[in-house]
Chain A
């Protein structure tokens, strides 16, 4: 390599470093503006569609018809824009080098405004994150940044979008680190802070320095109140669990419906939401107006309990039916209602002096957010930024940790990851990401495997595998696995059901690994397998990249030993 070429490369590397910082600021500004524009567009859409005092017929027609139109766009042009946007951004960051098509950002903006503006009980923060990530990814491609740099811009944009949408710059940075990257020590913190601050500056320049919530002054009236906050943590955990389980179950049911129903599922969800809105217009859209009322003691105990249940149901329906919108603000809404209700009860029955119910609503927001989103540090700092009061820290941490622990105990997989898993996307865990030096499944796997077509008869399957010495086989087509079948089962069924398609006997529940899983995980899962461990793609868990058998593992060990 000659000196001139080295100099050329050094200059380019230097150029990328310098550009990255400038881009962090510019993307921060653009993301903040996009988040603000998204918020304003949703408001404008709501006014335009519902007017000031909508009739019952309008409540029914608007969400149904607009969701039908959004459903068409989502099915036909922007399938990646369904739901929140945060899981999609996480998947893009971890599995696709931060690649988010610009088309997705545009689609998310349009469908998000339609769905949330038409009354769906969904949040604007998740979509803002996806819009910003799409913009950042597109800009990175314009500048032909290296894949690592392009990938790094995604969480930076996410932090800026959240800061712009929520006016909490520190919590936004923590969210990017804790949730998107999954590593609080990520070296991106500087650029994320830069982008987040840029976003908040433009947000304030456009909307003024008005907080999202008018938060009452926090007071811990007596130390005994911590017991009440502990109770609030338990309630927060239960609400979080109900939401996570309910949402996952409802979405699973919707996903199991025939693919042709995807077009009308959002409209069906819209119809149900319309019916709910007739009786409970308070659950319409983002609903921060009512969070403010709960924070300031403006709602009765009964009202808060009803709204908590109705918001939970409405959000589950809106999300599971495939509309575009997030769960960030619904989780805050649920927390405010549950917390406010606990606060009122404590006021009525507690034997110790207690603070205002608004203070409980505030801590409840953090507790439910921590339980649903599973980002406890973000939650603590978000509430702290809203109150700007250190006194809130201890009760908040007590309630958050209890809620977080309950939610994690009964729903081990965080909600965003579980939603991705339903779409056959498995994100790498913290262990997989940090075990950089260990051997990976991709080194052990073999791509030399037999795949039996699902419609093949048992007899033909028996013929196909007769030459092989393997004990277990994949059943599927064109690299897409439908299940596993053992040689023993084939032999067993061959006697009486030789003409029956093999798919009748496959094991559809089976263990698998991803190419980046460590050898430790491979050994553990292979031990529990019927003798064959498929290695599947993280971005599509039905796509087989290879298989690992005990023999392949033994060969790998032998080869390593010989090399040494």
Chain B
């Protein structure tokens, strides 16, 4: 009966898969005419899955592969919450309604299944499969507007870079397997022994360079998912060319999943209590590598964002920069930094979903996403514009917002772990980012509108954006609920 226990443990994933298939069936039965129904099925599926997730409290390992723990649950709930918002985006985007878009929801749910497995496994096979499931769904979503040259081009670029990073990552995993004889991270992190896999620790002493090459190659796969330098080239093009709800999904859910998997990979391999003493030096070196990557990533992201005229491209480079800030927490390689990264992720959820929602709204109003076309919208659509300013303040990292507190935690973690130089670079970067975020606010409020047309309002959509804005500020002032959730979720290293 152990199989049924396993099935119970992966019940959320099963529900999600079931609802994905159901969405496909409903789309078939309604012949793609009524995609709204499929949207409601999807939202129901997300709700049921969330309930199934909340019902799990004990820590178990299903089928020797799926780790059901609070750390995974954090990212799963994060994904569900992000997907729900993306679904609402899709349903309220008038341009999306023209297409037969039942598959849209199926692909979103499929991507969620991928994320679920990817953030909750110590098994590299399942990690790769989850990552690929997420990637494949993302490719198709990015190219969803088949008639649109930009969308097709974005998707092709995404596939090609994705293929490269998947190839490099899988080759790295094959090297790790060759070195240790196991594909389980926890087994890799042990000393090994008679009749057991050899363990990375004994390999570290014997052949440090191959181990370093293998670990670096695996990190490339994660770097692609979180769009860290030097695997960020796809980011601006794909963000610009993909439909805006898909861009939102990529910027929030897909990136968080990449971080979830990365934290688990590093945590189980190098940081967990039972291995820390054995690989402390090596873990520190990997941390240093990530710190350098973090510094380069945030600098490249922020400097490139300065000259952009497309709002989606600007936010794409901003998301590269934010990957750099988050990597700062990862680089510390301890509980403090990881928790800071988790909190910043929660902040990132509110401010980035909000910012992309506003972009979607402005796109609906203007028909394009140029910053110039935002001129004077502060007077025409005051509520949305004010909310946008709250998101921008939070993205810059100024008080009193979640972004500020998140950055505060990340900077503290970096300084506490002897990476003051990294904190200084991050501080300078935040100052740079002020310039381009301020450009948006300036266009909204300080410039004259080019015409007098009044945009249509969508009450539900505007209400949701306002709620995000309020949350961004509220949870920045009153941090304990999110902080408690983060602390209780950090059972990874225990």
Are both chains from one complex?
A: no
B-binding residues in A (CB < 8 A): none
A-binding residues in B (CB < 8 A): none
